[in-house]
Amino acid sequence: MKLTRPAAVAVVLLALGGAGVAAAQPDEPHIPGTTTAPGPSAAPGPSAAASPSDAPQTSAAPGSSDAAAPPAAPATSIQKDGTYKVGVDIVPGTYASAGPAAADGACYWKRVNNSQVPDNALSKKPQVVRIEPTDTAFTTNDCQPWQQTNAAPPPPASPGDVLGQLGAFIGKGMLSGAPG
C-alpha cells in the first residue's frame, strides 16, 4: 500500500507530535496536590538527639512575637528546579528565564492546573511564561532562574511555524514534492 503525500505528512506530524510530548516530560510523575520543590538542607551542627538540658532555656510571654512566625509570602522569583504551588510558593504572573542552565542543555517547564497541563515547553532558548491564577503549580527543570516580568509571553505558534520547523526533521524533498 502506497501512502499519499498528505497521508505521509499526517503520519509524520502525529509521530513527531507524540515523540515531542513524550520527550518533553522528564522522569517526574505528577501527583495532584503534592509538591516536589526542594527544601532547605540540614546544616551541619549538633544532632537532633541532643538532650533537652543542652538547649538554652527560654520562655516566651503569651502573645509575644517569639511565637511561630507567619508563613512567608509567595515569591516573585524561582531560583531552583522544582514544583512550586501557585499562590503559596509563587505568585501568579508573567515570568522570564534566560534559558537552559547548562550551555548544551534544555530548559523544561510546565504549568499545571489540577491534573491538566495547559502549557509546557522544552527549549534551548530564553523563555517567557504566563502563570495564571487558576494554575495549581509550576514545574521547572534545568532552567536559569525565573524572574517576574512585565514582558508579554510570545504568541502561540501558528500551523505555518510548526510546518516550517518540521522541514528540518522531514527534509526538503518530501515537502517540495520531489520523488523519495
In a domain? residue 15: yes
57-61, 69-73, 97-101, 111-115: range with lowest mean pLDDT = 57-61
Domain that holds residue 162: 5-28+72-176
Mean pLDDT calculated for residue range 52-69: 52
> Does the pTM exceed 0.75?
no
Asked if residue 10 is part of any domain, the answer here is: yes
Domains of the chain: total: 1
Averaged over 60-88, what is the pLDDT? 82
Quick check: helix, strand or coil at residue 89?
coil
Let me know if residue 45 belongs to a domain.
no
In a domain, 66, yes or no: no
The pLDDT of residue 171? 61
Return the pLDDT at 68: 76
> For residue range 26-54, what is the model confidence (pLDDT) as tens digits?
555 444 445 454 444 444 444 444 444 44
Give a yes or no: residue 21 inside a domain. yes
- 97 has a pLDDT exceeding 80: yes
Q: Cβ(138)–Cβ(90) under 8 Å? A: yes
- What mean pLDDT is reported for the chain? 73
Residue 42 lies in a domain: no
Residue 43 lies in a domain: no
In a domain, 137, yes or no: yes
165 grid coordinates: 520547523
- pLDDT tier at 151, thresholds 50, 70, 90: confident
| Tens-place pLDDT, residues 112-122 | 999 999 999 99
Instruction: Say how far apart CA 110 and CA 127 lie, in whole Å.
Output: 12
Query: Could you tell me which of 87, 74, 80 has the C-alpha nearest to residue 137?
Result: 87
Residue 1 pLDDT exceeds 80: no
